């Protein structure tokens, strides 16, 4: 299904170096040749871009009136995609509710303007308007001439698993959802379930919608990643004049990725590469195998066995063995033994072991509590630029534990850890700005640091960020976004977040179907 043998298709076919702006120039020319009353009539017929387009003049008018807004939202979202995604040599694209494939045109422009050489294997276009779908296929064929095009002329509620492109070789997929998730007349949970069941390999989602503020429409866009089990997703809210200084456009952008690769298969493949060297006594190979058993295969017993073998000549393994004894990973808890392995690792200047010794002395794990000694170990690791020790040492200064109280010093230590990407450091620097600890109060800056930590899964930061959205302090007030972050914190077991949720009447904020 593709538009052909029309004046428009011939103009597109012979357009040199097509871009979104060049395509929109055709719409500009068409509109400028019409009398003003007819322009207004066509614009009013669009119903603010909500209704399905059923005529060629309406398609052109939509591109003319709303094209730049879509372009701005999508470009903002594309700029926030991870480099890991752009490093994928070949991808599939699914454009949901694609309209005229504005998302695909804008993505082609973005790749070219930023020098990415990514190849598109397949464009799947989903759109209820047959006329728009044909034009979308035309645009996609011009912007990605080497890609296969699949057209699906259905509403979201009519989709089945055969409509979502399923690549047997697990090619990375870009899912574009531009101004569709906020539409209230389809089953969001069923739609998300269909996508989730069909996903393979690495999937990158780009979701942009208008930001209404405290509405069911906002909640749908915010809730969508959670329905796909993307727990780390963070919405970006842009109010009037923030997307473009000369426009009142608003934007709710939610970009996130999901990797459905088989972790067990991946881990076992890597283990096989190191196994022979590990059996011959290679401490580094033994340590790598231990890590894989611990982090990917979640087999603490095997991890402990390989950490113990590697610990004879490897300070990292010594530190990890201490953690095994302290937490009962693959072995009975033995705090004095944990302490000895931390000491052995710290002698080799292992900063993680130094910080672990600080924790042992702070909480009395295998030794008498001693905050002065704890602070000394934190200091040693902090001076070697270990961010965990930096924020822990900062707490010592904030409360005067083991050192003389100095909130300015605490702030500087939190800031150093935060700037290194440590989520706990980011949370604590947010606290400093929210409550004026060692620095002047500034809720706007506090929100930015909370948001950085919340994105990394820090429950305390998610809770504090949610409270700022409740009050509209330092951020745009949004009950839907507040609920999103407070739920995130509660789902991680933060009791005060769970207690607050129990008190909130969220009948208007529940995920719509």
Tell me: the pLDDT tens digits for 150-169?
999 999 999 998 898 766 66
The Cα–Cα gap between 120 and 145 comes to 9
**Phi, psi at 174, each rounded to 5°:** -100, 120
- According to DSSP, the residues that pair with 175 across neighbouring strands are 94, 205
Residue ranges of the chain with pLDDT lower than 50? 506-513
Query: What pLDDT score does 300 carry?
Result: 94
Give pLDDT, residue 432.
Answer: 97
Can you tell me the distance from the alpha carbon of 100 to that of 121, in angstroms, rounded to the nearest whole number?
A: 19
Residue (of 376, 377, 373, 370) closest to 342 by Cα position: 377
Q: Which of 72, 134, 138 is nearest to 109 (CA)?
A: 72
Per-position DSSP letters for 361-430, written without gaps between them = HHHTSSS---HHHHHHHHHHHHTTT-HHHHHHHHHHHHHTSSS---HHHHHHHHHHHHHTT-HHHHHHHH
pLDDT digits (tens, 9 = 90+) for 245-274: 888 888 899 898 887 656 666 677 788 889
Give this prediction's pTM: 0.71
CA–CA separation, 295 and 273 (whole Å)? 17
Looking at residue 56, what is its pLDDT? 83
Phi, psi of 370 (to 5 degrees): -160, 95
Q: CA torsion, points 485, 491, 492, 493, in degrees to nearest 10?
A: 120
Q: What is the pLDDT of residue 52?
A: 67
pLDDT of residue 171: 85
How far is the C-alpha of 414 from the C-alpha of 133, rounded, in Å?
53
pLDDT attached to residue 166: 66
């Amino acid at each position: 299904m593709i538009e052909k043998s029309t004046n428009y298709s011939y103009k597109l076919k012979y357009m040199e170096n097509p871009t979104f702006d060049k395509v929109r120039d055709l719409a500009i020319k068409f509109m400028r040749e019409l009398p003003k009353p007819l322009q207004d009539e066509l614009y009013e017929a669009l119903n603010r871009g909500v209704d399905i387009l059923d005529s060629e003049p309406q398609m052109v008018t939509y591109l003319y009136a709303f094209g730049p807004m879509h372009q701005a939202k999508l470009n903002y979202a594309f700029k926030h995609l991870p480099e890991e995604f752009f490093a994928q040599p070949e991808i599939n694209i699914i454009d949901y509710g694609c309209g005229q494939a504005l998302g695909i045109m804008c993505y082609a422009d973005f790749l070219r303007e930023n020098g990415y050489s990514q190849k598109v294997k397949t464009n799947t276009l989903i759109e209820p308007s047959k006329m728009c779908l044909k034009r979308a296929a035309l645009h996609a064929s011009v912007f990605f001439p080497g890609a296969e095009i699949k057209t699906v002329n259905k509403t979201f509620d009519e989709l089945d698993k055969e409509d979502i492109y399923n690549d047997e070789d697990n090619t990375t997929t870009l899912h574009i959802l531009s101004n569709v998730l906020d539409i209230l007349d389809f089953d969001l949970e069923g739609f998300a379930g269909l996508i989730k069941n069909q996903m393979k390999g690495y999937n990158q989602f780009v979701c942009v919608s208008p930001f209404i503020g405290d509405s069911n429409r906002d909640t749908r866009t915010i809730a969508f990643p959670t329905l796909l089990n993307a727990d780390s997703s963070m919405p970006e809210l842009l109010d009037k004049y923030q997307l473009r200084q000369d426009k009142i456009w608003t934007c709710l952008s939610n970009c996130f990725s999901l990797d459905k690769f088989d972790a067990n298969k991946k881990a076992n493949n890597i283990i096989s590469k190191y196994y022979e060297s590990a059996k011959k006594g290679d401490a580094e190979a033994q340590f790598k195998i231990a890590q894989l058993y611990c982090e990917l295969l979640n087999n603490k017993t095997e991890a402990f066995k390989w950490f113990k073998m590697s610990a004879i000549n490897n300070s990292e393994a010594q530190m990890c063995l201490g953690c095994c004894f302290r937490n009962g990973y693959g072995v009975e808890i033995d705090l004095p033994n944990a302490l000895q392995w931390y000491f052995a690792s710290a002698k080799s200047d292992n900063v993680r072991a130094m910080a672990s010794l600080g924790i042992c002395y702070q909480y009395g794990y295998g030794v008498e509590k001693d905050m002065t000694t704890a602070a000394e170990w934190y200091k040693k690791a902090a001076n070697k630029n270990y961010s965990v020790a930096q924020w822990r040492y900062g707490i010592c200064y904030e409360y005067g534990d083991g050192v003389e109280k100095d909130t300015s010093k605490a702030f500087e230590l939190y800031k150093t850890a935060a700037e290194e990407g440590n989520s706990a450091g980011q949370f604590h620097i947010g606290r400093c700005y929210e409550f004026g600890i060692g620095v002047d109060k500034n809720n706007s800056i506090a929100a930015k640091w909370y948001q950085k930590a919340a994105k990394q899964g820090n429950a305390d930061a998610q809770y504090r960020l949610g409270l700022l959205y409740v009050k509209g302090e330092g951020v745009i007030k949004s009950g839907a976004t507040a609920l999103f972050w407070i739920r995130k914190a509660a789902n991680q077991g933060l009791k005060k977040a769970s207690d607050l949720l129990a008190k909130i009447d969220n009948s208007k904020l529940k995920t719509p179907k």
